[in-house]
């Protein structure tokens, strides 16, 4: 089964006029010719069905004006077989055990954490019960690593993959979104921290979402040159993100553009098989 491990749904209540302050969102929606929630969903389904992919994980983000929340994402996943449910949870919630239990009942395939936005230090000992629950329900943890650009946030240091060491030691299946990379040279890169974690722990992986940029191309080539790292990455688009690399030819379907670029660069079907295996599908 060919899976995009990391895609997003726009919030049903999102006001397109509010995106003027966010350059990234503005260019994403302009590329999609965004008009409304329904058109966004239909376009994504069309792109998936037009591509060679079988399914895409829709990742929810709670308390975001831009991204759809758990309820909205779950509703779409129940209606459309192309989608798998990626639930967003907070390890510090008092009823986290009930929330994970309910997510499991709703057939969530992974749990997403955006540390800097949710203000979560995943190295804190309070996260240990949460990690134990993830293992109990066999749910992988998808964590944003590297700087967050789309959602306004502070505490960018919380996106350091090194903070996941305790979870890795416990055997939690971890997917570090974007492999800790940066988009601009003047920013701090956590790519080295991700590589150290991924090479040390069998259960730590990285996704390739939104990594086709002039700066991140150098990290992609480092992954390609290291067979051990190449075996630890998963296909992802981070849709509505799209390749932002001028030398490549682009079409209207960013999903096809993305996997075509990765395959031409030297990635093989391992990037899809890893996703299917981690999600136990």
- Given this model, what pLDDT does residue 22 score? 72
Residue 137 CB coordination number (10 Å): 14
| Measured distance CA(88)–CA(108) in Å, rounded | 10
Per-residue pLDDT of 233-275, as tens digits, reads: 999 999 999 998 878 888 999 999 999 999 999 999 999 999 9
- Given this model, what pLDDT does residue 28 score? 84
At how many degrees (to 10) do helices 128-136 and 96-105 cross?
Answer: 20
Pick out the chain residues at pLDDT < 50: none
- Given this model, what pLDDT does residue 247 score? 81
- Given this model, what pLDDT does residue 20 score? 62
Specify the CATH number for 3-278; select among 3.30.565.10, 3.20.20.140, 3.40.50.300, 3.30.70.1710.
3.20.20.140
Q: Which residues contact residue 121 at a Cβ distance below 8 angstroms, ignoring those fewer than 6 apart?
A: 115, 127, 158, 163
Domain boundaries of the chain, sorted by first residue: 3-278
Per-residue pLDDT of 128-159, as tens digits, reads: 999 999 999 999 999 999 999 888 887 999 99
- Given this model, what pLDDT does residue 16 score? 75
- Given this model, what pLDDT does residue 21 score? 57
For the chain, what percentages of helix, strand and coil (3-state, to nearest 5) are there?
Answer: 45, 15, 40
SS3 177: strand
Whose CA is closest to 120, among 101, 149, 96?
Answer: 96
């Amino acid at each position: 089964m060919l899976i995009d491990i990391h895609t997003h749904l726009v919030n049903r209540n999102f006001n397109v006029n509010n995106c003027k302050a966010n350059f990234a969102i503005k260019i994403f929606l302009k590329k999609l010719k965004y008009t409304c929630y329904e058109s966004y969903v239909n376009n994504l389904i069309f792109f998936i069905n037009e591509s060679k992919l079988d399914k895409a994980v829709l990742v929810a983000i709670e308390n975001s004006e831009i991204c759809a929340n758990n309820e909205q994402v779950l509703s779409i996943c129940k209606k459309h077989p192309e989608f798998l449910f990626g639930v967003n949870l907070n390890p510090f919630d008092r009823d986290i055990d009930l929330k994970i239990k309910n997510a499991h009942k709703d057939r969530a395939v992974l749990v997403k954490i955006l540390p800097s936005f949710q203000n979560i230090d995943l190295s804190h000992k309070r996260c240990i019960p949460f990690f134990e629950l993830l293992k109990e329900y066999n749910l992988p943890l998808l964590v944003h690593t590297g700087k967050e650009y789309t959602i306004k946030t502070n505490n960018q240091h919380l996106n350091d993959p090194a903070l996941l060491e305790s979870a890795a030691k416990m055997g939690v299946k971890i997917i570090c979104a974007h492999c800790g990379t940066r988009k601009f040279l003047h920013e701090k890169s956590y790519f080295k921290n991700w590589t150290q974690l991924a090479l040390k722990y069998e259960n730590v992986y990285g996704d390739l979402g939104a990594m086709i940029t002039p700066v991140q191309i150098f990290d992609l080539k480092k992954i390609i040159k290291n067979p051990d790292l190449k075996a630890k990455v998963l296909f992802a688009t981070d849709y509505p993100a799209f390749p932002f690399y001028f030398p490549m030819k682009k079409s209207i379907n960013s999903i096809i553009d993305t996997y075509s670029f990765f395959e031409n660069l030297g990635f093989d079907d391992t990037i899809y098989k890893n996703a299917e295996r981690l999600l136990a599908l």
